[in-house]
Structures are given as structure tokens and as C-alpha cells.
Structure 1
Amino acid sequence: MRHLIVITFTLLWVGLSHSQQLKVEPPNWWSGMNRSVIELMIYGDGVAKYTPASDQLNITATDRTDNDNYLFITLETKDLQPGDYLITLEEDGEVEHKIAYELKARREGSAQRKGFDSSDLIYLIMPDRFANGDPSNDSVDDLVEKADRSNPGGRHGGDIQGIIDHLDYIKELGATAIWSTPLCEDNDSTYSYHTYAQSDVYQIDKRYGTNEDYRRLAEELHKRDMKLIKDYVTNHWGLQHWMIQDLPDYDWIHQFPGYGQTNYRMTTQMDPNASAIDTRHNEDGWFVRSMPDLNQRHPKVLNYLIQNAIWWVEYADLDGFRVDTYSYGNKEGMTAWTKAIMDEYPNFNIVGEVWMHDQAQNAYWQKDSKLGAIQGFNSHLPSVMDFTLHNAVMEAFREEPSWNKGLIRIYENFVNDFLYPDINNILVFTENHDTMRINEFYPEFNDYRLVMTLLSTVRGIPQVYYGSEIGMRGDKGKGDADIRRDFPGGWEDDELIAFSAEGRTAEQGRYFDFSKKLFNWRKQAEVIHKGKTIHFVPRDEVYVYFRILDDARVMVVLNNNENEVNLDLDRFSEVLSTNDNGMEILSESAVDLNSGQLKVAAKTPMIIELK
């Protein structure tokens, strides 16, 4: 979710004002796809008057809408070989347009591609604020907003080339996957840098680069045994999207008529007592005035979104989706969208942004949830974001402890793990591009160590936010721009270059070195990726838990006290009974477990590999 400048707009119908060449979407398809029946959208002045024909392709249906500028053609591509296939558009027996439609060859093993999972650590990037690898594309003629780095909420020039230039930095840190906020074109006049108000979902924003650059990003990641996760938006497009400017039909988006604001009450999606009007305003309401809400009940809208998502997986060789505002869309439509992608790629992964503050409400959205089954609902969504852990972290390490405050908040979050059908496949995080920076909330380095140790050793798939590993801060209260600052060293004129050890300050180096050690250890720790958790109720603000997988055991100790503590190890004998010693991986020091006591320094985490 995100915030934008609000503009006044009532949308009913906008027609083409001038002729243009035909647009065909999807621009190509692939031979050998499970989804062999595709629906081409052909757009152009008065194109609905034409009759499509092909001697090479099986045209199974032709549809038109109330807008004569659209023609929909359904094709069967099963058993067709890669190549160009001719489609003609005819009027009164005369050929008016010729379309060479290409079926490409799929990459070997494309259907069985493996998505991100609990062995990964995801690095979240806002590309406009990470690094400017190609200053020549900072501003382009046909996109309205130009680069202005002096404007905190403007475009700053970061791009795909900047990400590619620093992949080795991200790999050195220990991250294994990148989630970039959206990169498709956003032609809003202001605040376009976040790119959630997309104006063309088949086109990378030229200020970030080209479609080919995005595909090259995936290639460079795969060379490094890393993964690319695309941020996909199913709920809405931007007001400047070319189809919003000339709607295929009135019902393509939700209208009240025109603009109607969402109430943000996602609980109406599963609330058995919800009123119809509240449910409609959550599901059909616009996120903000500049983001018209797509109608996933509309068969052609849903099919368009399915085909577009699959197109990007094939085209860019993606490893996963993070889906924005997942629980705002029509849930039956979203189920069909998700299932279609997972049917095409059974080992793929999709994580939905379900920003809810109750574990049962989050778990409801994960595939095969017994909670959803009560209502006859199965989302088919493999993964959800653990917002309740985020909420707990943002309180637990700074408040005065009591029966229900302090580290007990963290413990209680994991008590409800039984609600999730696949607990290892949920995304855990302490911050992202919509929240307060963790280093702003907890400005002390020792707190950072505690929080990141927790994130790196619990069940699920950890996600870290760019720059936190060097101590970057940002106050959500000052606006979104403050939590989305430029990474130091990403621009040619930056004095500080934090991408290299010699360019970092001593403080930045302290954060980075700790993060690098922790994240790279996790990369190899299968016990963390797959292990069972046994945890103990926090006492005196010390939380102890174990991760166990076969003979491998890891003991994690989080001491949130301002003083050193002596931990009585007898309390943990049910897990420690067969272990005499261990290795603490952060300090690289041996630990004797025979004495019955364990000294833990103030505000200190310990990760002990038991021997």
C-alpha cells in the first residue's frame, strides 16, 4: 500500500481523439504452454468493424465491446511450433491490416522453475532510490515527470542498470533474491517514482530502462544463483493507463459512477456479519483517486491480468511475484488469477500483501487454509506476509515489559503458527517501503542486532529493506519520501559510497559487517530453513528458542535487558540434554553448556550451533 497526491476525477467514458497504429496484447505468446488458449486484445481506431481471419491459427471466438476501438480474438495455440503466424483484419473482403503474431520457444525447464522459498533472504529495493546506473534516462520526452533529485517526493533517477551494477554488493551481503517495487510505466505527473499507478503493464518505465534491461537483470541474478521477484498489481492501474483513458467498456473498472473510495476494511472479505455496502466499498472502492479499481469479476479483465502475469514470467524468466494489495480485489477473481499462474508453474511462489493485524485473518488467505475452508474458500495463494510479526517487533523491544508487553509479544505471535497451513512459506519482515524504518524506530545498534537476529532465525522467508544493513533511517511521520531515501553512493556526485567497505563510515561498516555475517550464515543453515521451532516463555526480557532439524540444533537467545543475565540452562534441558557445547556464530566463540549457566551480555543476541 502507498499514499499519493489526491486529484479530483469522475470517470465515465473517454473516447479516442485521434487515430493510431494497432496495439496487440499480449505482444507474443509461447509454444508449449499449459495455457494454450489466449485472448488477443487488438486496439485501434474503429478496429471492431474488422473481421479477423487466419489460415495458420485457429480463431475460436471474436468478441467486441461497446467501444469500437477494441477487438478481442481468441486463439488456440496447442501443438503449434514456434514461429510467426499471420492474422488478417478484413472489411468487405479486403485485407486492411496484417498482424504477424509470434509464438516463441520456451526456455528449457520453464514450466518447472523453482520459486523463492525459506532458504532465501529477500532484499527489497525501491529502484528510483537505489542507484542511478544510466543518467541518460533520468527524464524522457514522452513521460511527464522529469528527474528532480532536490524534490524528496520526485524522481531521483535510480534505474535497472543501477541495480545490476550493485548485484555483487547484494550477494556479498548474503541476500539471495531481489524484490523490486514495480518497474512498469507510471505516467503520473507527480509521485510516479513508486510506480504503483501503472500506465502500461507490458512496458518497463523508460526512466528505469527497457524491457530488455529487466530481462538482463534476471539473467545477471541467475548467474549469481539469485532470484528475481516482480511486484505485481492486480487491484488497480493508474489514471493515466492508456486503457483507462479509453475504457473497453464501462464495467472494466468499478464505478459508483466514477470514483468511489475504498474503506480499507479488508476484514469484510471474511466477516460473516459484514454488510453488503461495506463489503463493496472495500472490494470495489478505489485505493486513491488516481488509481481506478479493476473489476476482476469481468472475464476479460481477469483474463488480461492472468495473461499479463504469465507473459512476464516467461519473458523475464521470473522467480516469483509479490502481489500488491492482494486482499482488496474480488477474492474469487484473485483465486482464479493465482491458480492459473500456479497451474502453469507448479513450483513457482507468490506472496500476497495481506496487511491485516490478526493471525487468523492473515492465515485465511494462504493456500489450503482450514479457516478459509469454513466458508468454502481456497485462495491457492502459496505465501502471505506476516504483518503481525512486524507489528510485534515494532513494540516489543522498546516498551516496559509486563504480562502482555515486551518480548512476550514476539512469543505470542508464534503461538498462533498452527493457523497457517504452510508456516515455512510466509514472508517475515520488520519494515518495508510503507513503514517506519527499523533504524529510526530502534536507533541503537544493539537493537538492530536483536531485531535482525530474530528475523534471520525464525520460520519463514525473511525480507530486508535496502539500506538498513548500513543503518539507514527514515521517519514515516515525515512522509513516504523520508523512508525511501537515496542509497549513499548510488549517484555519481555522492560523496559517500556505501557500496564498498572503504567507502562506508565506521558506523555503516559496523551495521554491514554484522548483517553480512548473519545473513551469510543463514544462507547455509538448513535447520533454519526447514526446522521445527521450540520456544520458551520469555523471562526477565530474555527470549530463548530452538530450531531443530534431524540432528541439527540451533539455540537462539535474545537478551533485551540493559544488563547482563545469567541464564539457567536447566530450564532448557528437554532440548539441551544431549548437547555439551556449541559454537556461537556471531562472536565465533565456543560455548560450554556443562556449567548449567550461560552468561548473555546486555542487549545481545546469541546464535549457538549445538554440538
Structure 2
Amino acid sequence: MKKIITFSSIILSSIFYSQVQKVEPAFWWSGMKNPELQLLVYGKDINNLQPEFSNGIKIKEVKKVENPNYLFVTIDTSGIQPGKTKLNFKNGNKTVKTIDYEFKQRQQNSANRDSYTSSDVMYLVMPDRFANGNPKNDNTPDTAEKSDRTKTGGRHGGDIAGIVKNLDYLSELGVTTLWNTPLLEDNEPSYSYHGYAQSDYYKIDPRYGTNDDYKNLADELHKRKMKLVMDYVTNHWGSKSWIIQDLPSKDWIHYWEEGKNGFQRSNYRMTTQFDTNAAKVDEAACMDGWFDTTMPDMNQGNPMVVNYMAQNAIWWIEFAGLDGLRVDTYSYNDKKGIAEWTKRITDEYPKFNIVGEVWMQDQAQMAYWQKDSKIAAIEGYNSHLPSVMDFTLFDAVGQAFKEEPGWDAGMQRVYGNFTNDFLYPDINNILVFAENHDTNRLNQTYPNVADYKLAMSLILTVRGIPQLYYGSEIGMAGDKGKGGDGEIRQDFPGGWAGDKNNAFTKSGRTASQSEYFDYTKKILNWRKGNEAIHKGKTLHYIPNNNVYVYFRYTDNKRVMVVINNNKETQNLELKRFSEGLNNLTKGKDILSDKDFDLKTNLSVAGKSSLILELK
């Protein structure tokens, strides 16, 4: 009887130890600048296994954590050539599991890939609400929430195929860069369409498509000389993440003992990250508090967490051929950990651009987070983050065009924003916008198309990288305060079979939609070839009577922008602007194609703008 039990135990042991369920990343690339790779291996009670590569690849360290279902295997990839190898797992001398592992050839010049710059225009899409190109994936067996377009907070069925189908629309509009809100799997049982509670960091949500579909999206963009930006979330993961469900160790997330299931909501006071007077308890409540109940706060103070995220981001860059990242809630992260994460990526890709969401209402506080900030250097900090989002300009735009002239109202408010440009270490590399997926729509704030045109004249000609929000170019509106997030994330008309209005086509657009679209298209396509707008300096004048005048210029090119926010026609005496005109006496308005004599006076109709190429 004893022998039978022993024999059965051996059989069970072999089956037991063969349960290596995941290895992440599933494959890697040879020739990376950082040769160190840490594999996460997951399976039931596998921590007693010894990993070994079949071809002599050196394992530097095998690290065990408190959860016996994990092994972290660090290898040195120096000199490894592209090809397949075997990763064996042994129990003593016996191999109980073998996994094929591959090192791939990197794309040519991968490390020096170009990224988005101020010569680009970024278009923000919520994939679930843009277009449904493949109705067959609206619902999948392995995802919880099902499609229901009647729910403003539900899944509507938009997907990667729908985006690809309409890339020519974006190209015609003049967009050069696409930013999608997260496409990775979000398997929350409800309200999962936004994608910010991700459950698998190596898998595109099957309701959007597959990993290969995502790669194809990048390829299709590149064929059109357009770029792809991934929305990356470092601060929090989704509660249904398989790692969150079975944590490697408790310190992978910020766990609050007094809160239910470790939850304590963030106090959202990002100023505590650099406030020299802040109490530590308040600092921790911001940085370590959870963004929401379904979004456990990740601990970037744990080097293994940072390493996992850095490798994951690099994996997607290599796999899909990404051209940049946008990082959600950047300033809620552990600031040392997120700086390390950012540096890991930019060390590997020196030209790679990453813009962080730093939602603050003060330029000095936002500038703190940009790479090489002199403000942050006071305390010896460098985020290594190339770009930040200009939320103070967003605030100004949201008020200026509905205000009468005043000391700090109307166009004075916009002018005042730019007077603080000296705070930023790289002023051309900040993201400028009038709205996004978290704010009221611009066309709700300004229901009149004239105000939309004023806002676009500004956003598309000032320093920085302009970002548009899907549908604004056809007049889409929405009030978050009245209808919640679903109100500002409505379906794009024409993205679903049976839609009465197809705004993706010229013949399908209404007269109102066409007016918005044609205006936007004209500026965007003109902007593509204008170096003064891309990288020129700015010279601006204090607004008079709600008229703001500024120049964008290089040694060879000069553009004069006049934004008349007054309801009445304004006549400008041009002698005041002689420094900006620089002895040039003629200008062609790119909006109307009219020529203007700029010797003495300039008349500008009420609630209108001029964008003059000087000659």
C-alpha cells in the first residue's frame, strides 16, 4: 500500500508542477539596450521549481515572493540572437514543464524611432464610441459586460476594425496622430467601456479585437504617414486583473488596513507631491489612495512593480510599433517610481515622446513634472517626462470666449496663460487642448460655431502639440454635469450600421456638421506644412477690446494671428504691431484665402479670427 501511495504522489506531483499557466512577457527581442529581462512565471505552487534555459542562456536570479504561485526569473539577454529556445522547469533532476520561448528580431532602427512632436495634431478617440467595424466581437464568452447601446455607461460595440475603417476620414481631416483611450482588456462587470480598469496588460480587449488587430492599426496608420499613441495606465489596475486577484505580494498595491478590501479613496491633492509644508499623512492619502473602488492603487515604490510596467510598455512599443505614449493620472504615482519607469522607456528610445496627465490649475505645478524642470530640480527631482498637458490653457479657453473684456477676463485670460511659458523647460513639447474625454465638450460650452472657430484658431496655432476630441469637428456636444460621462462620450454618427446620419462622409454630413468639419480641415491641413507653427517663437500683445494678436515666427517664416472675441468689428492700428510684422506689409488669410494690406490698419469682423501668412 505504501508503494502505491508513493507512486500516486509522484504522478500527482508531476501534474501539479506542470501547471505553469503564464510567462510574461511571452516573448522578447534581442539587441535591447538594457539586456536584463525579468520573466514573471505564474502557476499553482510553482515556487519550488528551478527554471533553466536549454541553450545556456544565463539566469542571473530566481526570486521567490510570499505567494507560492509566482517565480520571477531574471536573465541576461546580451548576445542572444533571434530565435526560439526552451525554458525548462525542473523539480530536482526531473523536467516537469517545458515552454517554448522566443527572442525576436527588432524592427530596423527601432531604438531611434521618431515620435510625435509639435508638427503633429493628435486626435483622441474613445474606441467603444467611435465606430463598430466588427459586430461579431461586440460580446465575447470570456468578458463579463455585454453590448447595450441603450446604456450611456455601457458597451456600445466600437472597436479597432471601426477605427481602421475610418482612417481615411482622419487623414482627410488633417490628423497626423491617433490617441485611443485604453484598448487593453477591462473585464469589470459594468462600466468597462472606458478601459481604465485594465485586467490584462498583455491583451487587447476581445471586444475591440486582438493583439494582431492592434498591430494592424499601427501599420495602417504608418501607411498613411500617421502615428499611434497608446494610453498607458501606471497608477492603478482593474480589480478584475488576474494579478490583483492573486497578488504576488501584498505590497504590489497600496493596501489600507482600515478600508474594505484594502480600499481608501485618494484625497486627489496632487500638490502634496511637492508641497514642502505637506503633512506625510496627506501625501500618502494622495499618492497611495485608490483612484476608485474598482481601481487598486499600484505601488511604484516596489521595484518589481515598476519593472513589470516598464517591460510591458517596451513590449507594446516593439510589438505594435508604437509612436508614443500618453500616461493617465501621471502625478498620482509614486514620483520616484514613475520617474524610473519613464526613464527606462526613454533610455531605450531616446526620441520617444510621452505626455503625462498632470491635471493642475497652476503652471508652476505642471511645469514641475516636465523633464529637466528647474522647479523640480530645487529638491533634486527629475521626472524624465518629456511632455505634460496644458490644463491651464484648457481652463482659460473654457471661459474666455463667453466673457466681456476685463482685466483678467476674455482674451486677457488667454494672454495671461502664455505669460508663464518661461516655467516650462520645453515649451513646444506640451499638449494643448480645449476638451477631452473627461471634460464638457467644447461645443456644449460654446454652442455657437463662431466660438468653436475662435477656439480652434487659437489651439491650432499656439506653441505645443494640439489635441482634438473625436466628433468636435462635426459639432458634437455634451454636458457632463447633466448626463454624466456618457453624455460627453456619445457615439460618432455613422459609426454603426443603421445610423441615420453618417458624418464620416461628405454626402452624409448635415450643413452644420460640414461647417465645423470644413473649417477644422482647412486649418489642420495648412498647419502640416508650416514650420513657424511647429517650432517658431511666440510674440504676443496685450489684448485690447478683447482682441488678441500674436505672431509665430522663425527666421524664414512669420504668421500673424488675430482673434477678435468682441461682438463688434475692430480696427487695429498696425503701427503697434511693427515688431511682429518685421517690415512685412502683406498677408494672406489661410481661412478665407483673402489678401490683406498691412501698412496702416486692419479691420477684423466681430467674433472672427484671421490667420495671416506674412509676405
Q: Distance in 1 between matches of 2:79 and 2:546?
A: 63
CA distance in 2, matches of 1:36, 1:449: 51
Alignment of 1:422-461 (within 5 A): 422-461=426-465
CA distance in 1, matches of 2:125, 2:115: 19
* 1:242-281 to 2 correspondences below 5 Å: 242-257=242-257, 258-281=262-285
1:516 equivalenced with 2:521 (yes/no): yes
The TM-score, its normalising length taken from structure 1, stands at: 0.96
Aligned residue type for 1:223 = K
Structure 2 residue 285 is matched with structure 1 residue 286: no
Quote the residue 1:503 is aligned against: 508
Q: Does 1:546 align with 2:542?
A: no
Instruction: Answer yes or no: is 1:401 the counterpart of 2:400.
Output: no
Partner residue of 2:237?
237
Letter in 2 for 1:27: A
Q: What is the CA–CA distance in structure 2 between the aligned matches of 1:146 and 1:397, rounded to whole Å?
A: 41
Matched, 1:298 2:297: no
Instruction: Give the Cα–Cα distance (whole angstroms) in 1 for the partners of residues 64 and 405 of structure 2.
Output: 64
Instruction: Write the distance in 1 (CA, Å) between the matches of 2:114 and 2:205.
Output: 27
Hey, what does 1:170 align to over in structure 2? 170
The amino acid across from 1:252 in the alignment is W
Partner of 1:567: 572
Q: Partners in 1 of 2:368 and 2:553 — Cα distance?
A: 27
Q: Which residue of 1 aligns with 2:52?
A: 53
Distance 1:94 1:394, change over 3 A: same
Aligned to 1:524, the other structure's residue is in SS state: coil
Aligned residue runs from structure 1 range 590-601, under 5 A: 590-594=595-599, 596-601=600-605
Deviation of 1:55 (Å): 3.7
- Work out whether residues 20 and 41 of structure 2, in 8 Å CA contact, stay in contact via their aligned partners in 1: no
Per-residue CA deviation, residues 5-35 of structure 1 (Å, 9 max, x unaligned), is: xxxxxxxxxxxx9995520001111000012
Matched, 1:44 2:43: yes
Task: Report the alpha carbon displacement of residue 308 of structure 1 after superposing the two structures with TM.
Answer: 0.3
Q: What aligned pairs does 1:301-312 form with structure 2 within 5 A after superposition? A: 301-312=305-316
In structure 1, distance between residues paired with 2:378 and 2:92? 56
Which residue type is aligned with residue 559 of structure 1? N
Q: Give 1:22's aligned residue.
A: 21
Q: Distance in 2 between matches of 1:104 and 1:274?
A: 48
Aligned position for 1:316: 320
Instruction: Specify the SS of the correspondent of 1:273.
Output: coil
Provide the C-alpha distance between the structure 2 equivalents of 1:19 and 1:405, rounded to a whole number of angstroms: 69
SS at match of 1:248: coil
Amino acid at match of 1:514: Y
Letter in 1 for 2:585: D
Residues 577 and 321 from structure 1, CA distance in 2 versus in 1: closer, same or farther, beyond 3 angstroms? closer
In the TM superposition, what is the alpha-carbon distance from 1:551 to its structure 2 partner?
2.5
Q: Write the deviation string for residues 320-357 of structure 1: whole angstroms up to 9, x where unpaired.
A: 00000000000000010000000000011000000010
Q: TM-score, normalised by structure 2?
A: 0.96
Aligned to 1:193: 193
> Aligned residue for 1:90?
90
SS at 1:607 equivalent: strand
Q: CA deviation at 1:76?
A: 0.7
Amino acid of the residue matched to residue 219 of structure 2?
Answer: E
Q: CA deviation at 1:399?
A: 1.9
Residue 117 (structure 1) aligns with: 117
Distance between the aligned counterparts of 1:578 and 1:80, measured in 2?
62
> Residue in 1 aligned with 2:494?
489
Secondary structure in 2 matching 1:501? coil
Distance 1:24 1:37 in 2: 16
CA distance, structure 2, for counterparts of residue 330 and residue 310 of structure 1: 20
Deviation at 1:577, TM superposition (A): 4.3
Q: CA deviation at 1:72?
A: 0.8
CA distance in 1, matches of 2:19, 2:154: 31
> CA–CA distance in 2 between the matches of 1:108 and 1:413?
42
Retained in 1: the 8 A contact 2:54–2:88?
A: no
Unpaired segments of 5 or more residues in structure 2? Answer: 1-15
What corresponds to 2:74 in structure 1? 74
Where in structure 2 are the equivalents of 1:382-421 lying within 5 Å? Answer: 382-421=386-425
Equivalent position SS for 1:439? helix
Shift of 1:54: 2.1
Tell me the distance in 1 between the aligned counterparts of 2:212 and 2:293.
32
3-state SS, counterpart of residue 96 of structure 2: strand
SS in 2 for 1:22: strand
Aligned to 1:211: 211
The code of the aligned residue for 1:341 comes to I
What is the CA deviation profile of residues 250-291 of structure 1, one whole-angstrom value per residue up to 9, with x for unaligned ones?
A: 111001121111000000011000100000010000001110
Return the alpha-carbon distance in structure 1 between the equivalents of residues 210 and 604 of structure 2: 52
- The CA deviation string for residues 15-65 of structure 1, in whole angstroms up to 9 with x for no partner, is xx9995520001111000012111000001111111112242111100111
Q: In structure 1, what is the equivalent of residue 374 of structure 2?
A: 370
SS in 1 for 2:507: helix
Contact persistence 2:188–2:240 (CA under 8 A): yes
Percent sequence identity is: 59
Provide the C-alpha distance between the structure 1 equivalents of 2:250 and 2:81, rounded to a whole number of angstroms: 38
* Matching residue of 1:33: 32
Q: Which residue type is aligned with residue 94 of structure 1?
A: K
Distance 2:19 2:472 in 1: 47
SS at match of 1:48: coil
**Separation in structure 2 between the aligned mates of residue 147 and residue 20 of structure 1, nearest angstrom:** 34
Deviations 1:415-435 (A, max 9, x none): 000000000000000000000
- Matched residues in 2 for 1:577 and 1:411: separation? 21
**In structure 1, how many angstroms separate the alpha carbons of the residues matched to 2:527 and 2:206?**
37
Distance in 2 separating the partners of 1:38 and 1:576: 56
Residue 102 of structure 2 corresponds to 102
SS at match of 1:572: helix
Moved more, 51-60 or 381-390: 51-60
List, as ranges, runs of 4+ consecutive aligned residues in structure 1 with deviation greater than 2 Å: 17-21
One-letter identity of the residue aligned with 1:419:
L
Aligned residue for 1:5? Answer: none
CA offsets, 1:90-135, max 9 Å, x none?
1121111102111000000100001100000000000000000000
